[in-house]
Amino acid sequence: DAKTTQPNSMESNEEEPVHLPCNHSTISGTDYIHWYRQLPSQGPEYVIHGLTSNVNNRMASLAIAEDRKSSTLILHRATLRDAAVYYCILRGNTGGFKTIFGAGTRLFVKA
Amino acid sequence: EPEVTQTPSHQVTQMGQEVILRCVPISNHLYFYWYRQILGQKVEFLVSFYNNEISEKSEIFDDQFSVERPDGSNFTLKIRSTKLEDSAMYFCASTWLAPSYEQYFGPGTRLTVT
């Protein structure tokens, strides 16, 4: 499975934008870039995903580099509720389409 | 919005006992999964299940583990003889089909083996 690299932690102020980076230099052409987050004491939660183009949804935006070797999850206005571990994951056509979690980035949001 | 549900939320069992963790995936999904997370560690893939058979399993998923879809709605994980190191949060997940679709995770079952 292709690997992703994320910073261990990041800090943000409430109501400011947050840019969470992810490197995935060994991504294959059929890998989708998924982002999930895990709030304290909860199960992982889907945030957003994309293949080549930038994506927006009600939770966040995903900016994908032209060579697809990196991506950035953008939270437009961080709230205290966004404090969580954010996982950047590649999902491809391997058996079962499983999700392999790394350590993720722990986001701290200051009031 | 559809959701994955899991029961029980917390299970306490003694070492050597069998436990069954239950999940109800989203109704039109085709792939089902179990993951576990030991306290303070990352989420680990255990097994994926499609078309009534295991699609892929990790090294963790040894002979002590089994999965079943006994009817059209439930998906279960059985641990035959629990060990202390099986204590963890167990998450069920489901997805429609391809990697272009998101996985939906349940809230988890906390298993405590004493």
Tens of pLDDT, residue by residue over A47-72, are 999 999 999 999 999 999 999 999 99
B45 pLDDT exceeds 90? yes
Q: Could B104 and A38 be called an inter-chain contact, meaning their C-beta atoms sit closer than 8 Å?
A: no
Instruction: Say if CB A104 and CB A86 are below 8 A apart.
Output: yes
Q: Are strands A105-110 and A9-13 parallel, antiparallel or unpaired?
A: parallel
State the nearest Cα–Cα gap between B98 and chain A, in angstroms.
Answer: 7
Residue B109, H or E segment: strand B109-113
With cut-offs at 50, 70 and 90, classify the pLDDT of residue A95.
Answer: low
Closest to A91 (Cβ–Cβ): which among B44, B99, B104?
B99
